[in-house]
């Protein structure tokens, strides 16, 4: 189905969780979480899931299987994060919604910020204000997996999951990945296009230049004399691919072979690349 920006605007901008809505902050409060503050619904005390739409920028687009991890960097692989920015869409109605959403996020920041330094979530450059989103690539396993065939052969021992066993980690990070995969597990960034989950190896390509809807939560930390905010991704829905993309009919099932799971779709690009330069 062809994406129509005007129709999307008409049917979404007043939704209660869309950050362009005038009433989006009604019934929300900041509350202490496990670390820092998080925006929650005052009725059920769960994190508020906000929604926005923007054009995914190539700027520091790091949504491949290793996220923003770099070789010989200071941070270990298990701390890697998916990272991307969205900017104002060209279409008039979506652009107005985007600007209204920026104002909403700035109002949220003002509720708890105590300094003039409000970093990480809203990033400004010559093109205007962008929103930065992140999500952890790896999560700590509830039960560590024995790192030997003998240990895994013990009755009742945790087994390696297929997602991790088939994770398309770049060759340059294969050794550190092998050392952490028994304790940490990778999770695909939840990017969907036409109802299908995008294969992790093609996530960067599919997102680049797309018009996407992002569902996210917001958190805040005070670090010395800086206020830091974070927009954490819950779900991404690609509404329209970028101009340089074209799709194929090739799909492959989810690695868990669970029929209830969405299929992963491979998206190809004229000059395919799995990552973008910072």
Residue 107 domain-assigned? yes
Q: What is the pLDDT of residue 10?
A: 93
Q: Which two tokens stand for residue 140?
A: 């700590």
Q: Could you tell me if 65 and 120 lie in one domain?
A: yes
Range of the domain at 72: 5-137+189-269
Who contacts 134 (Cβ-Cβ below 8 Å, separation ≥6)?
A: 81, 82, 83, 230, 231, 232, 233
Q: How many CA atoms lie within 13 A of 38 on its CB side?
A: 16
Instruction: Report how far residue 76's alpha carbon sits from residue 131's, in angstroms, rounded to the nearest whole number.
Output: 25
Residue 219 domain-assigned? yes
Mean pLDDT of the 63-75 span? 92
Q: Could you tell me if 78 and 162 lie in one domain?
A: no
pLDDT in tens, 16-30: 999 999 899 999 999
- Tell me which of 158, 186, 214 is where a domain ends: 186
| In the predicted structure, residue 114 carries a pLDDT above the cut 70 | yes
pLDDT in tens, 134-184: 999 999 999 999 887 777 778 778 899 999 999 999 999 999 999 999 999
| In the predicted structure, residue 64 carries a pLDDT above the cut 50 | yes
Q: What are phi and psi of 202, to 5 degrees?
A: -115, 10
Q: What is the pLDDT of residue 134?
A: 98
- Chain center to CA of 114: 27
Mean pLDDT of the 92-120 span? 94
| In the predicted structure, residue 98 carries a pLDDT above the cut 70 | yes
Distance (Å) of CA 244 to CA 4, 83, 241, 267: 19, 21, 8, 11
Residue 275 domain-assigned? no
Q: Could you tell me if 26 and 111 lie in one domain?
A: yes
Instruction: Report how far residue 85's alpha carbon sits from residue 163's, in angstroms, rounded to the nearest whole number.
Output: 26
Listed range (42-51, 59-68, 257-266) with the worst mean pLDDT: 257-266
Who contacts 133 (Cβ-Cβ below 8 Å, separation ≥6)?
A: 82, 83, 84, 85, 86, 214, 216, 231, 232, 233
Q: What is the pLDDT of residue 264?
A: 59
Who contacts 66 (Cβ-Cβ below 8 Å, separation ≥6)?
A: 77, 80, 137, 169, 170, 173
Q: Could you tell me if 230 and 132 lie in one domain?
A: yes
Q: Could you tell me if 45 and 85 lie in one domain?
A: yes
The domain tally of the chain equals 2
DSSP string for 85-123: EEE--SSHHHHHHHHHHHHHHHHHHHHH--SS-EESSEE
| In the predicted structure, residue 220 carries a pLDDT above the cut 80 | yes
Band (pLDDT 50/70/90 cuts) for residue 245 is low
Are the CB atoms for 105 and 98 separated by under 8 Å? no
Are the CB atoms for 133 and 243 separated by under 8 Å? no
Band (pLDDT 50/70/90 cuts) for residue 71 is confident
Listed range (129-138, 153-162, 255-264) with the worst mean pLDDT: 255-264
7 or 116, which is more confident: 7
Q: What is the pLDDT of residue 13?
A: 86
Q: What is the pLDDT of residue 259?
A: 43
Q: What is the pLDDT of residue 273?
A: 39
Q: Could you tell me if 14 and 82 lie in one domain?
A: yes
Instruction: Report how far residue 229's alpha carbon sits from residue 144's, in angstroms, rounded to the nearest whole number.
Output: 31
pTM for the whole thing? Answer: 0.86
Band (pLDDT 50/70/90 cuts) for residue 275 is very low
Q: Which two tokens stand for residue 31?
A: 């509350």
């Amino acid at each position: 189905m062809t994406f129509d920006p005007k129709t999307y605007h008409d049917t979404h901008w007043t939704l209660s969780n869309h950050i362009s809505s005038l009433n989006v902050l009604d019934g929300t409060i900041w509350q202490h979480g496990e670390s820092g503050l998080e925006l929650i619904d005052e009725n059920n005390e769960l994190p508020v899931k906000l929604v926005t739409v923007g054009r995914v920028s190539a700027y520091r687009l790091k949504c491949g299987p290793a996220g923003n991890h770099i070789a010989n960097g200071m941070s270990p692989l298990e701390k890697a994060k998916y990272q991307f920015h969205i900017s104002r869409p060209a279409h008039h109605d979506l652009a107005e919604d985007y600007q209204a959403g920026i104002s909403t996020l700035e109002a949220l920041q003002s509720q708890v910020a105590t300094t003039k330094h409000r970093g990480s979530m809203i990033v400004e450059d010559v093109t205007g204000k962008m929103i930065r989103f992140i999500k952890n690539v790896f999560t700590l396993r509830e039960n560590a997996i024995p790192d030997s065939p003998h240990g895994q052969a013990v009755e009742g021992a945790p087994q390696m999951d297929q997602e991790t066993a088939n994770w398309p980690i770049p060759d340059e990070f294969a050794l550190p990945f092998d050392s952490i995969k028994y304790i940490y597990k990778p999770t695909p960034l939840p990017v969907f296009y036409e109802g299908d989950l995008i294969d992790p190896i093609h996530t960067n390509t599919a997102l680049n230049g797309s018009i996407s809807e992002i569902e996210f939560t917001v958190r805040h930390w005070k670090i010395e004399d800086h206020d830091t905010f974070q927009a954490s991704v819950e779900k991404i829905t690609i509404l329209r691919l970028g101009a340089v993309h074209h799709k194929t009919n090739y799909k492959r099932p989810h690695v868990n072979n669970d029929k209830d799971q969405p299929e992963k779709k491979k998206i190809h690009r004229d000059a395919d690349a799995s990552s973008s330069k910072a």
